Amino acid sequence: MPANLQLQIAPSTSRAQPPVRKAPDEFAALDRLGSVVSLQREAVLFHESDSAEHYFKVVTGAVRCCKFLADGRRHVSEFYLPGDFIGLDAESAYQFTAEAVTETTVVRYTRRSVEALAAQEPRFGRRLLSIACHGLSAAQQKLVLLGRKTAEERIATFLLDIADRCGETECVSLPMSRTDIGDHLGLTMETVSRGLSHLKSEGVIALESSHKIRIRDRDVLEEIADAA
């Protein structure tokens, strides 16, 4: 286990709080197999190249998965929000480093127990496969996002994605920093800030705080996101 991991592990019989997005019935048996892990802000859940012995589900807070390049730059591949599973795409080792964006609670499952449950419950196994396939589809869409869209189009797409994942229609909570968003979208922190300010000046969004944005005109935001 990484030396700088700050966590508190409850007994395996403890139950996690319900995620924001209600889990389907297939996961009822899974909830009995996990242990609750509490992470402080910026704590490392696992490092790139660590043995992938566990899967995780975010209960509260947010987790970012990043890869650090040889020149010191960082790429944030994904943000995981309440209800999201982490590590389903891992093989023998994790391909990214996972860090808590803010104070975060996850449920940790051993791969062995999850795979055994999938073998016993085909419906559960199909659901896990569906989640993994969705993750691959999202990764493919990300290639289009980074390769074809302008900075403003990337920001608009990101805001809509977070809103949809959280089930929000107007007010979007962004636990991540502007630097996190920039490292995810392939932009600088300054470009992200300018893009948000421009959307605000155009009346498309309102900046209620550094971590909360209100979508004032979703139709226009969708037009910007789909312009590419």
Between CA 96 and CA 114 the distance in angstroms is: 21
Domain ranges of the chain: 7-145, 149-225
Between CA 17 and CA 195 the distance in angstroms is: 36
CATH domain 7-145 topology: Jelly Rolls (2.60.120)
Q: Give the model confidence (pLDDT) of 72-101 as tens digits.
A: 889 999 999 999 999 988 889 999 999 999
User: What's the pLDDT score for residue 122?
Assistant: 81
Q: Which amino acid is at 66?
A: C
- Extract the residue ranges of the chain whose pLDDT is less than 50: 1-23
Domain covering 149-225 in this structure, CATH number: 1.10.10.10
Residue 207 main-chain phi, psi, to 5 deg: -95, 95
User: What's the pLDDT score for residue 144?
Assistant: 66
Instruction: Say what the pTM is.
Output: 0.80
Q: Which amino acid is at 173?
A: S
User: What's the pLDDT score for residue 26?
Assistant: 65
As a dihedral over the C-alpha atoms of residue 150, residue 68, residue 39, residue 116, rounded to 10 degrees, the angle is 100
